Structure 1
Amino acid sequence: MIKFFRKIRQNLLMENKTGRYFKYAIGEIILVVIGILIALSINNWNEESKDRDKLLNIYSLIYNDIEDDIKELQKNVEFYNEKKSVFEKVVHDSITPDLLDQGLSSLISNSPRTLLNKKGVSQLRQLQENDTLTFYLNDIYEFMDTRLLPLEISISNEVIDHKKYVRDNHEWYPEWINNTITRDVGSKELHDYFLTNPTYRNRVVFVYDQVYNSYVRSLNALIKGLTTFKEEIGEILKKEND
Protein backbone atom coordinates (compact mmCIF):
# COMPACT_ATOMS: atom_id res chain seq x y z
CA MET A 1 0.00 0.00 0.00
CA ILE A 2 2.84 2.42 0.85
CA LYS A 3 4.54 1.61 -2.48
CA PHE A 4 1.25 2.29 -4.25
CA PHE A 5 0.94 5.80 -2.73
CA ARG A 6 4.64 6.53 -3.41
CA LYS A 7 4.23 5.59 -7.08
CA ILE A 8 1.28 7.94 -7.46
CA ARG A 9 3.30 10.81 -5.95
CA GLN A 10 6.24 10.12 -8.27
CA ASN A 11 4.00 10.07 -11.36
CA LEU A 12 2.43 13.38 -10.39
CA LEU A 13 5.84 15.02 -9.92
CA MET A 14 7.17 13.59 -13.18
CA GLU A 15 4.15 14.93 -15.01
CA ASN A 16 4.77 18.33 -13.40
CA LYS A 17 1.31 18.38 -11.87
CA THR A 18 2.34 20.18 -8.68
CA GLY A 19 -1.17 21.40 -7.72
CA ARG A 20 -2.63 17.95 -7.97
CA TYR A 21 0.40 16.60 -6.07
CA PHE A 22 -0.18 18.89 -3.09
CA LYS A 23 -3.90 18.06 -3.06
CA TYR A 24 -3.05 14.40 -3.13
CA ALA A 25 -0.43 14.85 -0.39
CA ILE A 26 -2.96 16.59 1.85
CA GLY A 27 -5.47 13.81 1.21
CA GLU A 28 -2.85 11.23 2.04
CA ILE A 29 -2.05 13.00 5.30
CA ILE A 30 -5.75 13.07 6.19
CA LEU A 31 -6.03 9.34 5.49
CA VAL A 32 -3.01 8.66 7.69
CA VAL A 33 -4.47 10.78 10.49
CA ILE A 34 -7.82 9.00 10.18
CA GLY A 35 -6.01 5.65 10.31
CA ILE A 36 -4.16 6.70 13.45
CA LEU A 37 -7.36 7.90 15.09
CA ILE A 38 -9.11 4.64 14.24
CA ALA A 39 -6.19 2.66 15.66
CA LEU A 40 -6.24 4.75 18.84
CA SER A 41 -10.00 4.31 19.15
CA ILE A 42 -9.68 0.54 18.80
CA ASN A 43 -6.86 0.50 21.35
CA ASN A 44 -8.88 2.65 23.77
CA TRP A 45 -11.90 0.42 23.26
CA ASN A 46 -9.81 -2.64 24.03
CA GLU A 47 -8.40 -1.01 27.17
CA GLU A 48 -11.86 0.10 28.30
CA SER A 49 -13.17 -3.41 27.65
CA LYS A 50 -10.36 -4.87 29.77
CA ASP A 51 -11.05 -2.35 32.54
CA ARG A 52 -14.76 -3.13 32.39
CA ASP A 53 -14.11 -6.88 32.62
CA LYS A 54 -11.79 -6.28 35.57
CA LEU A 55 -14.40 -4.14 37.30
CA LEU A 56 -17.10 -6.77 36.75
CA ASN A 57 -14.83 -9.48 38.20
CA ILE A 58 -14.30 -7.28 41.27
CA TYR A 59 -18.05 -6.67 41.54
CA SER A 60 -18.61 -10.44 41.46
CA LEU A 61 -16.08 -10.86 44.29
CA ILE A 62 -17.68 -8.04 46.30
CA TYR A 63 -21.12 -9.61 45.81
CA ASN A 64 -19.91 -12.84 47.43
CA ASP A 65 -18.06 -10.93 50.17
CA ILE A 66 -21.17 -8.92 51.04
CA GLU A 67 -23.29 -12.07 51.11
CA ASP A 68 -20.90 -13.68 53.62
CA ASP A 69 -20.66 -10.48 55.70
CA ILE A 70 -24.45 -10.15 55.92
CA LYS A 71 -24.72 -13.73 57.20
CA GLU A 72 -22.08 -13.08 59.87
CA LEU A 73 -23.66 -9.82 60.99
CA GLN A 74 -27.08 -11.49 61.18
CA LYS A 75 -25.63 -14.23 63.39
CA ASN A 76 -24.32 -11.54 65.73
CA VAL A 77 -27.77 -9.92 65.89
CA GLU A 78 -29.36 -13.29 66.65
CA PHE A 79 -26.75 -13.98 69.34
CA TYR A 80 -27.76 -10.86 71.28
CA ASN A 81 -31.47 -11.08 70.50
CA GLU A 82 -31.56 -14.43 72.29
CA LYS A 83 -30.11 -12.81 75.41
CA LYS A 84 -32.08 -9.57 75.31
CA SER A 85 -35.00 -10.53 77.57
CA VAL A 86 -32.63 -11.68 80.36
CA PHE A 87 -30.47 -8.57 79.90
CA GLU A 88 -33.55 -6.36 80.29
CA LYS A 89 -34.66 -8.06 83.50
CA VAL A 90 -31.23 -7.44 85.00
CA VAL A 91 -31.26 -3.83 83.84
CA HIS A 92 -34.72 -3.30 85.36
CA ASP A 93 -33.64 -5.03 88.59
CA SER A 94 -36.10 -7.88 88.10
CA ILE A 95 -33.67 -10.72 88.81
CA THR A 96 -35.24 -13.99 89.94
CA PRO A 97 -33.76 -17.49 90.40
CA ASP A 98 -35.47 -18.78 87.25
CA LEU A 99 -33.17 -16.53 85.21
CA LEU A 100 -30.34 -18.92 86.06
CA ASP A 101 -32.04 -21.44 83.76
CA GLN A 102 -32.20 -18.77 81.03
CA GLY A 103 -28.50 -17.96 80.97
CA LEU A 104 -28.14 -15.29 83.65
CA SER A 105 -24.60 -16.36 84.52
CA SER A 106 -23.45 -16.29 80.87
CA LEU A 107 -24.72 -12.85 79.82
CA ILE A 108 -21.20 -11.46 79.69
CA SER A 109 -19.17 -14.62 79.40
CA ASN A 110 -18.54 -14.32 75.64
CA SER A 111 -19.11 -12.01 72.69
CA PRO A 112 -18.98 -12.46 68.90
CA ARG A 113 -16.29 -10.85 66.77
CA THR A 114 -16.74 -10.07 63.08
CA LEU A 115 -14.18 -10.98 60.42
CA LEU A 116 -15.00 -8.83 57.39
CA ASN A 117 -14.42 -10.02 53.84
CA LYS A 118 -12.68 -7.01 52.28
CA LYS A 119 -10.71 -8.49 49.39
CA GLY A 120 -13.16 -7.21 46.76
CA VAL A 121 -13.46 -3.74 48.27
CA SER A 122 -9.67 -3.47 48.55
CA GLN A 123 -9.31 -4.28 44.84
CA LEU A 124 -12.02 -1.75 44.00
CA ARG A 125 -10.13 0.95 45.90
CA GLN A 126 -7.03 0.23 43.82
CA LEU A 127 -8.98 0.96 40.63
CA GLN A 128 -9.76 4.44 42.02
CA GLU A 129 -13.25 4.50 40.51
CA ASN A 130 -15.21 7.68 41.24
CA ASP A 131 -18.78 6.43 40.78
CA THR A 132 -21.42 6.65 43.50
CA LEU A 133 -21.53 2.89 44.15
CA THR A 134 -17.78 2.76 44.80
CA PHE A 135 -17.98 5.78 47.10
CA TYR A 136 -20.70 4.29 49.29
CA LEU A 137 -19.14 0.82 49.35
CA ASN A 138 -15.89 2.32 50.60
CA ASP A 139 -17.84 4.40 53.10
CA ILE A 140 -19.78 1.50 54.62
CA TYR A 141 -16.69 -0.72 54.97
CA GLU A 142 -14.72 2.14 56.45
CA PHE A 143 -17.53 2.60 58.99
CA MET A 144 -17.31 -1.08 59.93
CA ASP A 145 -13.53 -0.82 60.28
CA THR A 146 -13.50 2.37 62.34
CA ARG A 147 -16.73 2.13 64.35
CA LEU A 148 -18.20 -1.38 64.43
CA LEU A 149 -15.06 -3.44 65.04
CA PRO A 150 -13.74 -1.13 67.80
CA LEU A 151 -17.14 -1.42 69.51
CA GLU A 152 -16.85 -5.20 69.36
CA ILE A 153 -13.41 -4.94 70.91
CA SER A 154 -14.78 -2.75 73.71
CA ILE A 155 -17.52 -5.28 74.50
CA SER A 156 -15.04 -8.15 74.30
CA ASN A 157 -12.67 -6.36 76.68
CA GLU A 158 -15.47 -5.99 79.23
CA VAL A 159 -16.18 -9.72 78.96
CA ILE A 160 -12.51 -10.52 79.53
CA ASP A 161 -12.24 -8.07 82.44
CA HIS A 162 -15.21 -9.71 84.12
CA LYS A 163 -13.71 -13.17 83.75
CA LYS A 164 -10.46 -11.91 85.27
CA TYR A 165 -12.36 -10.28 88.11
CA VAL A 166 -14.18 -13.52 88.94
CA ARG A 167 -10.96 -15.50 88.61
CA ASP A 168 -9.11 -13.25 91.06
CA ASN A 169 -11.91 -12.81 93.63
CA HIS A 170 -14.05 -15.95 93.78
CA GLU A 171 -13.10 -19.53 94.54
CA TRP A 172 -15.99 -20.87 92.47
CA TYR A 173 -14.44 -19.56 89.24
CA PRO A 174 -13.49 -23.07 87.93
CA GLU A 175 -17.04 -24.25 88.67
CA TRP A 176 -18.53 -21.37 86.69
CA ILE A 177 -16.14 -21.47 83.75
CA ASN A 178 -16.53 -25.21 83.19
CA ASN A 179 -20.29 -25.64 83.58
CA THR A 180 -23.63 -24.38 82.31
CA ILE A 181 -25.05 -22.82 85.46
CA THR A 182 -28.73 -23.40 86.28
CA ARG A 183 -30.77 -23.45 89.48
CA ASP A 184 -29.72 -27.09 89.89
CA VAL A 185 -26.10 -26.62 88.86
CA GLY A 186 -23.70 -24.43 90.82
CA SER A 187 -22.90 -23.64 94.43
CA LYS A 188 -24.90 -21.24 96.61
CA GLU A 189 -22.04 -18.72 96.58
CA LEU A 190 -21.96 -18.83 92.80
CA HIS A 191 -25.75 -18.39 92.53
CA ASP A 192 -25.75 -15.52 95.00
CA TYR A 193 -23.17 -13.62 92.97
CA PHE A 194 -25.26 -13.60 89.81
CA LEU A 195 -28.56 -13.08 91.63
CA THR A 196 -27.62 -10.39 94.14
CA ASN A 197 -24.12 -8.98 93.59
CA PRO A 198 -24.28 -5.29 92.47
CA THR A 199 -20.91 -5.57 90.72
CA TYR A 200 -22.29 -8.15 88.32
CA ARG A 201 -25.45 -6.16 87.71
CA ASN A 202 -23.45 -3.01 87.00
CA ARG A 203 -21.32 -4.84 84.48
CA VAL A 204 -24.40 -6.28 82.77
CA VAL A 205 -26.01 -2.83 82.59
CA PHE A 206 -22.85 -1.39 81.06
CA VAL A 207 -22.65 -4.12 78.40
CA TYR A 208 -26.39 -3.80 77.74
CA ASP A 209 -25.95 -0.13 76.90
CA GLN A 210 -23.11 -0.83 74.49
CA VAL A 211 -24.79 -3.79 72.86
CA TYR A 212 -28.41 -2.71 72.43
CA ASN A 213 -28.09 1.07 72.20
CA SER A 214 -25.12 1.07 69.82
CA TYR A 215 -23.89 -2.26 68.51
CA VAL A 216 -27.10 -4.05 67.51
CA ARG A 217 -28.55 -0.86 66.03
CA SER A 218 -25.44 -0.47 63.91
CA LEU A 219 -25.63 -4.12 62.85
CA ASN A 220 -29.23 -3.76 61.67
CA ALA A 221 -28.42 -0.58 59.73
CA LEU A 222 -25.36 -2.21 58.14
CA ILE A 223 -27.29 -5.33 57.15
CA LYS A 224 -29.90 -3.14 55.46
CA GLY A 225 -27.25 -1.09 53.65
CA LEU A 226 -25.21 -4.11 52.56
CA THR A 227 -28.35 -5.83 51.29
CA THR A 228 -29.09 -2.79 49.11
CA PHE A 229 -25.55 -2.82 47.70
CA LYS A 230 -25.74 -6.55 47.08
CA GLU A 231 -28.96 -6.12 45.09
CA GLU A 232 -27.51 -3.22 43.09
CA ILE A 233 -24.35 -5.14 42.22
CA GLY A 234 -26.47 -8.18 41.37
CA GLU A 235 -28.44 -6.09 38.86
CA ILE A 236 -25.22 -4.85 37.24
CA LEU A 237 -23.87 -8.38 36.89
CA LYS A 238 -27.20 -9.64 35.55
CA LYS A 239 -27.35 -6.96 32.83
CA GLU A 240 -23.82 -7.78 31.72
CA ASN A 241 -24.62 -11.48 31.48
CA ASP A 242 -27.91 -11.03 29.60
Structure 2
Amino acid sequence: MAHFFKKFRKKFLVENRISRYLLYAIGEIVLVVLGILIAIQINDWNRDKNLYQEELESYNLIISDLKRDSILFHNYKITYDSFLDGYFKINKVSQNQGTFENVFPDFIAMNAEFNPVTQDNHQKNIDKLRNNEIRVSINKYFRRINQVKHAREEFNELITKESRPFFLVEQNILKNDVVFNYENRTFPPLLRVSTIDTAKFKESLKQSKAISLLSELRMSMGFYLAALDFAIIENQELITELENRIHNH
Protein backbone atom coordinates (compact mmCIF):
# COMPACT_ATOMS: atom_id res chain seq x y z
CA MET A 1 0.00 0.00 0.00
CA ALA A 2 2.85 2.40 0.84
CA HIS A 3 4.51 1.57 -2.48
CA PHE A 4 1.23 2.31 -4.26
CA PHE A 5 0.95 5.80 -2.69
CA LYS A 6 4.63 6.50 -3.36
CA LYS A 7 4.15 5.63 -7.06
CA PHE A 8 1.25 8.07 -7.39
CA ARG A 9 3.15 10.86 -5.64
CA LYS A 10 6.09 10.41 -8.01
CA LYS A 11 3.77 10.39 -11.04
CA PHE A 12 2.08 13.62 -9.97
CA LEU A 13 5.41 15.38 -9.38
CA VAL A 14 6.90 14.24 -12.65
CA GLU A 15 3.88 15.47 -14.57
CA ASN A 16 4.04 18.75 -12.61
CA ARG A 17 0.48 18.35 -11.57
CA ILE A 18 0.91 20.17 -8.27
CA SER A 19 -2.76 20.83 -7.59
CA ARG A 20 -3.66 17.21 -8.01
CA TYR A 21 -0.74 16.21 -5.83
CA LEU A 22 -1.87 18.56 -3.10
CA LEU A 23 -5.38 17.20 -3.36
CA TYR A 24 -4.02 13.68 -3.16
CA ALA A 25 -1.85 14.61 -0.16
CA ILE A 26 -4.83 16.08 1.64
CA GLY A 27 -6.82 12.96 0.87
CA GLU A 28 -4.03 10.81 2.24
CA ILE A 29 -3.96 12.86 5.43
CA VAL A 30 -7.72 12.58 5.76
CA LEU A 31 -7.49 8.80 5.38
CA VAL A 32 -4.80 8.61 8.04
CA VAL A 33 -6.83 10.81 10.42
CA LEU A 34 -9.95 8.73 9.79
CA GLY A 35 -7.98 5.58 10.51
CA ILE A 36 -6.74 7.04 13.80
CA LEU A 37 -10.23 8.18 14.76
CA ILE A 38 -11.69 4.77 13.95
CA ALA A 39 -8.96 3.08 16.01
CA ILE A 40 -9.65 5.43 18.92
CA GLN A 41 -13.39 4.76 18.64
CA ILE A 42 -12.86 1.00 18.63
CA ASN A 43 -10.58 1.34 21.65
CA ASP A 44 -13.23 3.42 23.45
CA TRP A 45 -15.89 0.82 22.63
CA ASN A 46 -13.72 -1.96 23.98
CA ARG A 47 -12.91 0.03 27.10
CA ASP A 48 -16.59 0.84 27.70
CA LYS A 49 -17.48 -2.80 27.16
CA ASN A 50 -14.86 -3.89 29.70
CA LEU A 51 -15.99 -1.26 32.21
CA TYR A 52 -19.59 -2.34 31.78
CA GLN A 53 -18.68 -5.98 32.33
CA GLU A 54 -16.76 -4.99 35.47
CA GLU A 55 -19.81 -3.06 36.67
CA LEU A 56 -22.05 -6.08 36.09
CA GLU A 57 -19.60 -8.19 38.08
CA SER A 58 -19.79 -5.60 40.88
CA TYR A 59 -23.60 -5.85 40.81
CA ASN A 60 -23.38 -9.63 41.19
CA LEU A 61 -21.04 -9.30 44.17
CA ILE A 62 -23.31 -6.72 45.80
CA ILE A 63 -26.37 -8.92 45.21
CA SER A 64 -24.59 -11.86 46.83
CA ASP A 65 -23.88 -9.80 49.95
CA LEU A 66 -27.38 -8.31 49.97
CA LYS A 67 -28.77 -11.84 50.10
CA ARG A 68 -26.48 -12.59 53.02
CA ASP A 69 -27.85 -9.45 54.69
CA SER A 70 -31.37 -10.71 54.01
CA ILE A 71 -30.70 -13.96 55.88
CA LEU A 72 -29.19 -12.05 58.81
CA PHE A 73 -32.17 -9.65 58.89
CA HIS A 74 -34.57 -12.59 59.02
CA ASN A 75 -32.72 -14.04 62.01
CA TYR A 76 -32.55 -10.66 63.75
CA LYS A 77 -36.27 -10.18 63.19
CA ILE A 78 -37.11 -13.50 64.85
CA THR A 79 -34.71 -12.93 67.75
CA TYR A 80 -35.70 -9.39 68.62
CA ASP A 81 -39.40 -9.93 68.13
CA SER A 82 -38.99 -12.39 71.00
CA PHE A 83 -37.34 -9.63 73.05
CA LEU A 84 -40.33 -7.40 72.42
CA ASP A 85 -42.77 -10.18 73.29
CA GLY A 86 -40.82 -10.73 76.50
CA TYR A 87 -41.15 -7.07 77.54
CA PHE A 88 -44.92 -7.17 76.99
CA LYS A 89 -45.25 -10.36 79.03
CA ILE A 90 -43.10 -8.96 81.83
CA ASN A 91 -45.27 -5.85 81.90
CA LYS A 92 -48.33 -8.06 82.38
CA VAL A 93 -46.56 -9.78 85.27
CA SER A 94 -45.96 -6.37 86.84
CA GLN A 95 -49.73 -5.81 86.69
CA ASN A 96 -50.49 -9.25 88.17
CA GLN A 97 -52.07 -10.28 84.85
CA GLY A 98 -49.65 -13.07 83.99
CA THR A 99 -46.79 -15.29 85.14
CA PHE A 100 -43.20 -15.91 84.11
CA GLU A 101 -44.19 -19.17 82.45
CA ASN A 102 -42.91 -19.14 78.83
CA VAL A 103 -41.10 -15.88 79.53
CA PHE A 104 -37.35 -15.48 79.16
CA PRO A 105 -36.68 -12.55 81.53
CA ASP A 106 -32.97 -12.35 80.68
CA PHE A 107 -33.93 -10.05 77.80
CA ILE A 108 -33.73 -7.17 80.29
CA ALA A 109 -29.94 -7.61 80.34
CA MET A 110 -29.07 -8.81 76.81
CA ASN A 111 -27.58 -6.66 74.05
CA ALA A 112 -28.84 -6.56 70.48
CA GLU A 113 -26.72 -7.39 67.44
CA PHE A 114 -26.72 -6.01 63.91
CA ASN A 115 -23.81 -6.90 61.63
CA PRO A 116 -24.77 -6.80 57.92
CA VAL A 117 -21.98 -7.35 55.40
CA THR A 118 -22.85 -5.35 52.26
CA GLN A 119 -21.93 -1.92 53.59
CA ASP A 120 -18.59 -3.06 55.00
CA ASN A 121 -17.66 -4.85 51.77
CA HIS A 122 -18.76 -2.24 49.22
CA GLN A 123 -18.98 1.22 50.81
CA LYS A 124 -15.60 2.31 49.40
CA ASN A 125 -16.42 1.17 45.87
CA ILE A 126 -19.88 2.66 45.37
CA ASP A 127 -18.59 5.94 43.93
CA LYS A 128 -16.82 3.97 41.19
CA LEU A 129 -20.11 2.68 39.80
CA ARG A 130 -21.06 4.61 36.65
CA ASN A 131 -24.84 4.25 36.94
CA ASN A 132 -26.07 7.16 39.03
CA GLU A 133 -29.47 5.58 39.81
CA ILE A 134 -27.78 2.49 41.21
CA ARG A 135 -25.42 4.61 43.32
CA VAL A 136 -28.38 6.53 44.74
CA SER A 137 -30.28 3.33 45.56
CA ILE A 138 -27.29 1.69 47.25
CA ASN A 139 -26.48 4.79 49.30
CA LYS A 140 -30.13 4.98 50.34
CA TYR A 141 -29.87 1.39 51.56
CA PHE A 142 -26.67 2.20 53.45
CA ARG A 143 -28.38 5.14 55.17
CA ARG A 144 -31.10 2.76 56.34
CA ILE A 145 -28.42 0.36 57.61
CA ASN A 146 -26.91 3.24 59.59
CA GLN A 147 -30.31 3.97 61.10
CA VAL A 148 -30.63 0.39 62.34
CA LYS A 149 -27.09 0.56 63.72
CA HIS A 150 -28.00 3.75 65.57
CA ALA A 151 -31.11 2.06 67.01
CA ARG A 152 -29.01 -0.90 68.13
CA GLU A 153 -26.49 1.41 69.81
CA GLU A 154 -29.25 3.25 71.67
CA PHE A 155 -30.74 -0.02 72.87
CA ASN A 156 -27.41 -1.47 73.98
CA GLU A 157 -26.55 1.73 75.83
CA LEU A 158 -29.85 1.49 77.69
CA ILE A 159 -29.06 -2.12 78.62
CA THR A 160 -25.49 -1.49 79.80
CA LYS A 161 -26.00 1.85 81.55
CA GLU A 162 -29.50 1.49 82.98
CA SER A 163 -31.09 -1.95 82.94
CA ARG A 164 -28.19 -4.10 84.09
CA PRO A 165 -27.08 -1.77 86.90
CA PHE A 166 -30.62 -1.55 88.24
CA PHE A 167 -31.89 -5.11 87.91
CA LEU A 168 -28.71 -7.14 88.22
CA VAL A 169 -26.78 -5.00 90.70
CA GLU A 170 -29.24 -2.97 92.77
CA GLN A 171 -32.01 -5.57 92.80
CA ASN A 172 -29.62 -8.55 92.73
CA ILE A 173 -32.01 -10.75 90.74
CA LEU A 174 -29.39 -13.17 89.34
CA LYS A 175 -29.56 -16.81 90.43
CA ASN A 176 -26.05 -17.60 91.59
CA ASP A 177 -26.46 -21.38 91.30
CA VAL A 178 -27.32 -21.05 87.59
CA VAL A 179 -24.58 -18.51 86.91
CA PHE A 180 -22.06 -20.91 88.47
CA ASN A 181 -23.15 -24.22 87.02
CA TYR A 182 -19.95 -26.22 87.34
CA GLU A 183 -21.28 -29.08 85.23
CA ASN A 184 -21.99 -26.87 82.24
CA ARG A 185 -20.05 -23.64 81.81
CA THR A 186 -21.81 -22.64 78.59
CA PHE A 187 -23.23 -19.12 78.62
CA PRO A 188 -26.73 -19.87 80.01
CA PRO A 189 -28.79 -17.75 77.56
CA LEU A 190 -27.29 -19.77 74.70
CA LEU A 191 -28.98 -22.79 76.24
CA ARG A 192 -32.16 -20.79 76.85
CA VAL A 193 -31.55 -21.24 80.56
CA SER A 194 -32.60 -18.19 82.56
CA THR A 195 -30.24 -16.75 85.16
CA ILE A 196 -32.98 -14.55 86.63
CA ASP A 197 -34.62 -15.22 90.00
CA THR A 198 -38.21 -14.55 88.94
CA ALA A 199 -39.43 -14.07 92.53
CA LYS A 200 -36.92 -11.26 93.08
CA PHE A 201 -37.60 -9.91 89.63
CA LYS A 202 -41.34 -9.73 90.23
CA GLU A 203 -40.72 -7.94 93.52
CA SER A 204 -38.47 -5.39 91.75
CA LEU A 205 -41.25 -4.66 89.26
CA LYS A 206 -43.21 -2.97 92.06
CA GLN A 207 -40.79 -0.05 91.81
CA SER A 208 -41.61 2.79 89.46
CA LYS A 209 -38.05 2.81 88.13
CA ALA A 210 -38.43 -0.80 87.04
CA ILE A 211 -41.58 -0.04 85.05
CA SER A 212 -39.96 3.05 83.55
CA LEU A 213 -36.96 0.99 82.43
CA LEU A 214 -39.25 -1.67 81.01
CA SER A 215 -41.08 0.98 79.00
CA GLU A 216 -37.79 2.37 77.71
CA LEU A 217 -36.64 -1.10 76.69
CA ARG A 218 -39.90 -1.73 74.88
CA MET A 219 -39.70 1.59 73.00
CA SER A 220 -36.02 1.23 72.17
CA MET A 221 -36.48 -2.29 70.83
CA GLY A 222 -39.55 -1.11 68.93
CA PHE A 223 -37.42 1.54 67.22
CA TYR A 224 -34.81 -1.06 66.35
CA LEU A 225 -37.39 -3.42 64.85
CA ALA A 226 -39.12 -0.63 62.91
CA ALA A 227 -35.81 0.42 61.35
CA LEU A 228 -35.02 -3.24 60.64
CA ASP A 229 -38.38 -3.69 58.87
CA PHE A 230 -37.56 -0.80 56.53
CA ALA A 231 -34.09 -2.25 55.93
CA ILE A 232 -35.67 -5.59 54.99
CA ILE A 233 -37.92 -3.88 52.44
CA GLU A 234 -35.12 -1.80 50.92
CA ASN A 235 -32.84 -4.83 50.84
CA GLN A 236 -35.33 -6.71 48.63
CA GLU A 237 -35.98 -3.67 46.45
CA LEU A 238 -32.26 -3.19 45.84
CA ILE A 239 -31.73 -6.86 44.98
CA THR A 240 -34.57 -6.64 42.44
CA GLU A 241 -33.21 -3.41 40.93
CA LEU A 242 -29.71 -4.82 40.50
CA GLU A 243 -30.97 -8.12 39.07
CA ASN A 244 -33.09 -6.21 36.54
CA ARG A 245 -30.05 -4.17 35.50
CA ILE A 246 -28.11 -7.37 34.87
CA HIS A 247 -30.91 -9.10 32.97
CA ASN A 248 -31.61 -6.05 30.79
CA HIS A 249 -28.03 -5.23 29.90
TM-score by length of 1: 0.83
Q: Deviations over 1:21-44 (max 9, x none)?
A: 112112111111110111011110
Of residues 173-182 and 200-209 in structure 1, the stretch that sits farther from structure 2 once superposed is 173-182
Q: What's the CA shift for 1:239?
A: 4.0
Unaligned regions of 5+ residues in structure 1, if any?
Answer: none
Name the counterpart of 1:237.
Answer: 246
Equivalent pairs counted in the alignment come to 235
Following the alignment from structure 1 to structure 2, what is the Cα–Cα distance between the partners of residues 168 and 94? 20
Identity %: 20
Report the counterpart of residue 221 of structure 1 in structure 2. 230
Whether the 8 Å contact between 1:70 and 1:226 is mirrored in structure 2 is: yes
Deviation, structure 1 residue 104: 5.2
- Structure 2 residues not aligned, in runs of 5+: 180-187
Q: 1:217 to 1:130 in 2, by over 3 A?
A: same
1:126 to 1:196, Cα distance in 2 relative to 1, 3 A: same
Tell me how far apart the structure 2 counterparts of residues 238 and 210 of structure 1 sit (CA, whole Å): 41
| Corresponding letter in the other structure for 2:123 | S
- The equivalences for 1:10-29 within 5 A come to 10-29=10-29
CA contact (8 A) 1:90 1:201 kept: no
Answering whether residue 210 of structure 2 is matched by residue 209 of structure 1, we say no
Which deviates more from structure 2 when the two are superposed, residues 113-122 or residues 12-21?
113-122
> 2 CA distance for matches of 1:176 and 1:201?
27
Superposed CA RMSD = 2.7
User: Displacement, 1:59?
Assistant: 0.3
Structure-to-structure mapping, 1:84-163, within 5 angstroms? 84-90=84-90, 95-96=95-96, 98-103=98-103, 105-117=105-117, 118=119, 121-122=122-123, 124-145=125-146, 147-161=147-161, 162-163=163-164
Partner of 2:58: 58
SS at match of 1:196: coil
Distance across 2 between alignment mates of 1:5 and 1:95:
103
Distance 1:35 1:5, change over 3 A: same
State the Cα deviation string for residues 77-103 of structure 1 (Å, max 9, x = none).
222222434423555776448542232
Range 160-169 or range 12-21, more displaced: 160-169
1:123 CA displacement: 5.0
TM-score norm. by structure 2 comes to 0.81
Shift of 1:217: 1.5
> Deviations along 1:88-123, whole A, 9 cap, x unmatched?
355577644854223252232223321122255325
Which residue pairs with 2:4 in the alignment?
4
171-180 vs 21-30, which deviates more?
A: 171-180
Whole-angstrom distance in 1 between the partners of 2:37 and 2:99: 79
Contact 1:140–1:222 (CA under 8 A) maintained in structure 2: yes
CA distance 1:135–1:171, shift in 2 (3 Å): closer
Distance 1:119 1:189 in 2: 43
Match of 1:173 in 2: 174
Report the 3-state secondary structure (helix = DSSP H, G, I; strand = E; otherwise coil) of the residue aligned with 2:110: coil
Question: Contact 2:112–2:152 at 8 Å: present in 1 too?
Answer: yes
